[in-house]
Amino acid sequence: MKKIVTVCFLTLIMLPVLSQQGNGYIEIIKAEAILKDMFDQLYDRNAREDQSMLFHKIDSVFELALNLPGSFDHRWEKLDKIGRIKSDDGVIKIFSWFYMKNYDEYLYSAIIQVRNRRNDAETYKLIPGTSSNIKGEEYPQRLNDWHGKVYYDVVTNHERRRTYYTLLGLDMNDTQTTMKSIEVITLKRGEPAFISECIMGGGQTKDRMVLEYSSDITASLRYNKDLDMIVFDHLVPMHPIYEGLHQFYGPDGSYDGLRFVDGVWVLEEDVDARNK
């Protein structure tokens, strides 16, 4: 309890200091130290009674920190408990993290940083939505209506004059199922936006792909550089009677994949991903 109070007190002191944007590098180092302490406390199981307040406080501190001059080029390596990814072209960075409210409810937060033509960085906060069907593959995500998750990889593709950033994410969901997702953003007038109809399979297109499976097992979803594909476990119910009940789904030992073709990810079934 004492350490959390100390962290929050330091945060209140540092907020106006960070807002002044004096010596950028020094302020970034200070902000990183504060954020590290805050995340350490957020994931300390012995201090759970104060974590909700801390989770929301992190948003304010992180946004201020990422608006400091030079923040985009800083590696933020001390923040090793959160998702930190950067696109291959060096244009976008995404920071994401979670808070386990209880075993059936997780809260997520994320910030996208975009390098602009002036070599500065703009920040965009992702705000979780509340719609009951927001986790579905056809839900039209927006920056202010987002299916919360932690992003752990970004795949950069170029098609004509457009750049596509494909995000791989993890949503712990609840005690029964876990979700992994594939979704795509692009920059429209310099601002990030989710795009629709970017995945094709079975003669249909959808806005994103969501893999949902039993929380008791592990399923893989990753970009395979050798194959130049996104490869993932083929998920099936443990018995035909469980069709559609994803708490009984798991890998069957085979793999499917997505290949980027003309601006769309195209599904390929039964991919040979062994030893690759």
Average pLDDT on 57-73 reads 94
Q: How far apart are CA 41 and CA 48, in angstroms?
A: 9
Select the more confidently predicted residue: 119 or 271: 271
Q: Looking at per-residue confidence, does 159 or 21 come out higher?
A: 159
CB 104 within 8 A of CB 174: yes
pLDDT digits (tens, 9 = 90+) for 9-62: 445 445 544 544 456 789 999 999 999 999 999 999 887 657 889 999 999 999
Burial of 45 (0-12, 13-18, 19+ CB in 10 A): exposed
Confidence of residue 131 (pLDDT cuts 50, 70, 90): very high
How much of the chain exceeds pLDDT 90, in percent? 80
Between CA 174 and CA 103 the distance in angstroms is: 6
What pLDDT is stored for residue 6 in this prediction? 41
Query: pLDDT band for position 259 (50/70/90)?
Result: very high
Question: Which residues, in sequence order, are CB contacts of 170 under 8 Å at separation 6+?
Answer: 149, 150, 152, 178, 179, 180, 181
d(CA 113, CA 77): 16
What is the tens place of the pLDDT at every residue in 173-227? 999 999 999 999 999 999 999 999 999 998 899 999 999 999 999 999 999 999 9
Asked if residue 68 lies in contact with residue 24, where contact means CB atoms within 8 angstroms, the answer is yes
Query: What pLDDT is recorded for position 276?
Result: 61
> Above 90 in pLDDT, residue 3?
no
Query: From the CB of residue 2, how many other CB atoms can be counted at a distance below 10 Å?
Result: 7
Give 98's pLDDT tier (boundaries 50, 70, 90).
very high
248: how many CB neighbours lie within 10 A of its CB? 18
Q: Measure the CA–CA gap between 268 and 157, rounded to whole angstroms.
A: 18
Model confidence at 160: pLDDT above 60: yes
pLDDT above 70 covers a percentage of the chain that reads 90
Q: How many CB atoms lie within 10 A of CB 39?
A: 21
pLDDT of residue 7 exceeding 70: no
Mean local confidence (pLDDT), 131-158:
96
Give the confidence band of 4 by pLDDT, cuts at 50, 70, 90.
very low
Name which of 70, 228, 102, 59 is nearest 155 in CA terms.
Answer: 228
Q: What is the pLDDT, as a whole number, of residue 21?
A: 47
* The predicted structure's pLDDT at residue 50: 74
Range name among 4-8, 115-119, 229-233 with the lowest pLDDT average:
4-8
Question: What pLDDT was estimated at residue 39?
Answer: 95
